[in-house]
Structure 1
Amino acid sequence: MTTVPHITKDTFVEILQDKDLVQPDDLLIFQTIYSLDKQEASATDLARIIGWSDKNGVVGKIVGLGKRILKKYDIKQRERVDGTKALWDFFFSGYYKGTFFIYQLKPELKEALEECGLTENIKPISLQNAYLFVWKPNKWSQWTDPNNEPYIEKNIEELKNTGKITLMWSCRSHKIIRPGDRAFLAKVGSTPRGIFGSGKVVSEPFLSQHWSGADKDVPKVLIEFDVLLNPEKDPILTIDNLDKGNLAKQQWTPQSSGISIRHEALDELEEEWFEFLRTQKIRYNPFSEITDTKQTFIEGAATQVTQTRYERNVFARNECLKHYGYSCSVCAFNFEKIYGSLGYKFIHVHHLTQVATRKQEYKVDPIQDLRPVCPNCHSMLHKQNPPLTIDELKEIIKK
């Protein structure tokens, strides 16, 4: 097998400026991956962000450009064991993440894109994928039917007592969904229609019996919910509130469960969901720390459930980490620097002020109220009540 080809930054500049070689879609692929975290993504992710039907469009464009470069430039290209050429590694290094191959933009190509002025108006894009799951009461009424066991109330009670509830749900996007992806649950069919749950996917897709009991299996995933409301008793985020900006471009009442949420709509959805939970009077609101001051503990947890609710809210957490990054505010430990890709974007988020000490409702400010901290420092901050301040813990470390 030949070595991986090396193209200098100056050669990449020459290639990028050659309109006979580089087509608009080729540039679009490079610019899209440039905009992402760590400037890496799978072909499936790139296709979804760009709006192409599947990854084959991305792979085809990359291979086509590689072939055109080989015709014009005398560059030794790596060959596979079967003798075929790996044309993608002109532009990328890469690795497997589960079953997905991740392309990483080569530094020389990154510098060439910048030098050619092809990155000046590019805004960062989050690769957080999100999916919309649906519940149709007319199809599965047992979840809230008062004449049957009200499962949803038991689920909500478990969430209240333990901080999470894991449920199995049908998933149309079983070929692309992954553990860690964001999940929202919407009620469709009958009014009120809208979002009443959120969480994250915690399993690979698997086959399980259809909810109706029919003798057939359908793809499903496990979802760990951090918010779950009862549409019969609680307000929900109705679709009337999702008809503005990029939210209006998303289908909120799909026929199938587990459809992809558009990337450009996700940040707006997270903000809308956050504000809804903060302002609504809900029987059990996991982010209403103002009224819930009971000290509920989970075995093995370093902090009180009441202290961590805002901390694990996706919108608040993301805004905090966009501003401060992923190094500990106390000891400066950074998981990615020590553990590599295993520690990528791993950090806790700490609430600076105990909400129970505030005398009135307030709007949480992720920049003013939250800080990234490593798990060790997070535990030490909460070692006493009231918690230590970040500066106090820094002094302890110095001593």
Structure 2
Amino acid sequence: MLVRGTLDGMAAVIIAWDPEQPGWTGVYAADVEAVRRTGVVRQEWQVPDDPALAEGLDVWLLAVGARPALHGLIGHGTLAGVRSPTRSEAGAAEIDVDLDLLLPRGDQVPCAELAERLPDRGAGVPSVRLIDGPAELAVRMLWAEANSPDPASLDPVPGALPASAVQRVPVDGFERDQDLRRVAMAHRGSACHACGLDPEQVYGIEATALIQVHHITPLAHLGAGYEVDPLVDLVPLCPTCHVVAHSRWPVPYGVEDIRTMLREAGFLRGAVLTPEQLESEAAAARILGT
């Protein structure tokens, strides 16, 4: 069954999914990990056909079934394709959904909270619901409040922004993997290896998570059989030095390159020059005629 509200400006789809029923391709727990590592997993659904279904719509996955304690919003993605099924009853459509965030079973956003935001949800759970306007915003806000981005990430939680406001860009997955980051920092420390900045000392303990890791393995070595060694291949850098490292392509600047830049620019490693120090350097430059 498909339920629709007023579809002017419709922006999202809620799909009810029963984990106890066939239909999920693969193993859900494995896909949770796959999304965490790779960013997206594609699943197919057969749903009632509707002309409002279009590529690019936000999709939320609502877990239902015989275990009410596990009911709730459990995933988000975007509608990647709509097509007529090869074998199905009349009036059905097959859709591809690129899921970009899946929560482990038990971590779902409870249906009770969803009902508070969507008081007109009605009795029963439709297999597909198209939402727009205030209803779509209510679901998005609930999802954003219940899920936090990775520490130090500038990227919003998938689903926190409308699909039309999101751009997918390729990134180095080794640098974004929080498990690898923790191993590298446990081995090398939490200070930037280029400028010496330790965010925890400057901003407090909450800033420990701001240090990033830089993947130093050359592109030529990243073959199909490559396995990252976080103790060797990942180096902690502050966000500024990390951007500087990647400002050269295809061979990024190394840690020693950045240290050389800092020395040649006249900055003390890990220190911020005071106005008096800057004036002294300027006076020295005038005396030397440089």
Q: TM-score, normalised by structure 1?
A: 0.38
Mapped to 2, the partners of 1:170 and 1:271 lie a distance apart of 27
> 2:243 matched to which residue of 1?
387
Report the counterpart of residue 79 of structure 2 in structure 1. 201
Gaps of 5+ in 2: 170-175, 182-198, 208-237, 245-290
Residue matched to 1:313? 158
User: Aligned partners of 1:259 and 1:224: how far apart in 2?
Assistant: 18
Query: Would the aligned equivalents of 2:5 and 2:130 in 1 still touch at CA under 8 Å?
Result: no
Is the 1:173–1:259 Cα contact (8 Å) retained in structure 2?
Answer: no
Q: CA RMSD in A?
A: 4.1
Quote the residue 2:262 is aligned against: none
- Name the structure 2 match of 1:239: 111
Cα deviation, residue 217, structure 1: 9.7
User: What SS does structure 2 have at the residue aligned with 1:195?
Assistant: strand
Of the candidates 9, 13, 38, which is equivalent to residue 131 of structure 1? Answer: 13
> What is the Cα deviation at residue 227 of structure 1?
0.9
1:208–1:218 contact (8 Å) kept in structure 2: no
| Offset, 1:187 | 1.1
- CA distance, structure 1, for counterparts of residue 135 and residue 159 of structure 2: 14
Q: Percent identity?
A: 15
Report SS of the residue matched to 2:34.
Answer: helix
CA deviation map 1:108-135 (0-9, x unaligned): xxxxxxxxxxxxxxxxxxx351111111
Q: Distance in 2 between matches of 1:182 and 1:271?
A: 13
Which digits, 9 at most, give the CA deviation of each residue in 1:136-170, with x for residues without a partner?
Answer: 23432x85xxxxx9611221222122111111112
2:42 maps to 1:170: no
Residue type at the aligned position of 2:137:
D
Q: Structure 2 vs 1, CA of residues 230 and 208 (structure 1 numbering), >3 Å: closer, same or farther?
A: farther
| 1:208–1:229 distance in 2 versus 1, CA, 3 Å | farther
Q: 1:275 aligns with which of 121, 138, 145?
A: 145
Say which of 203, 206, 209 aligns to 1:360.
206
Counterpart-to-counterpart distance in 2, 1:48 and 1:175: 11
Structure of greater relative contact order (alpha carbons < 8 Å, 6+ residues apart): 2
Paired residues of 2:79 and 2:97 also in contact (CA < 8 A): yes
Corresponding residue SS for 1:174: coil
Q: What are the Cα deviations for residues 33-91 of structure 1, in whole angstroms up to 9, with x where unaligned?
A: xxxxxxxxxxxx99623xxxxxxxxxxxxxxxxxxxxxxxxxxxxxxxxxxxxxxxxxx
Cross-structure match for 2:7: 48
Q: CA deviation at 1:200?
A: 0.6
Q: Distance in 1 between matches of 2:142 and 2:134?
A: 14
Query: Match of 1:189?
Result: 65
Alpha-carbon separation, structure 2, partners of 1:216 and 1:151 = 29
Change (3 A) 1:314 1:160: closer
Aligned to 1:339: none
What is residue 131 of structure 2 aligned with on the other side? 261
**SS of 1:171 mapped into structure 2:** strand
Tell me: CA distance 1:209–1:196, structure 2 relative to 1, closer, same or farther (3 Å).
Answer: farther
Change (3 A) 1:165 1:249: same
Give the corresponding residue for 1:227: 101
Structure 1: give runs of 5+ residues left out of the alignment: 1-44, 50-126, 144-148, 279-286, 291-305, 319-343, 362-381, 389-399
Q: What SS is found at the alignment partner of 1:157? A: helix
Supply the distance in 1 between the matched residues of 2:10 and 2:6 (Cα, whole angstroms). Answer: 14
1:188-211 CA deviation, whole Å, 9 max, x = no partner? 12222111001110112331556x
Higher share of residues assigned strand = 2
Cα deviations across residues 340-376 of structure 1 (Å, max 9, x unaligned)?
A: xxxx968689xxxx99967438xxxxxxxxxxxxxxx
CA 1:228–1:208 in structure 2 vs 1: closer, same or farther (change >3 Å)? farther
Q: Helix, strand or coil: the match of 2:82?
A: coil
1:217 and 1:47 mapped to 2: Cα distance? Answer: 21
Question: Structure 1 pair 173/264, CA: closer, same or farther in 2 (3 Å)?
Answer: farther
Does 1:250 find its partner at 2:96? Answer: no
Q: 1:161 aligns with which of 31, 37, 49?
A: 37
Question: Aligned-pair distance for 1:264?
Answer: 1.7
How many matched pairs? Answer: 180
Which amino acid is 1:260 matched to?
L
Q: Is residue 44–residue 97 contact of structure 2 (8 Å, CA) maintained in 1?
A: yes
The change in CA–CA distance for 1:346 and 1:150 in structure 2 (over 3 A counts) is closer
How far is 1:383 from its partner? 10
Contact 2:77–2:158 under 8 Å retained in 1: no
How far has the Cα of 1:262 moved from its partner? 4.1
> Deviation of residue 220 (structure 1)?
1.4
CA distance in 2, matches of 1:235, 1:136: 16
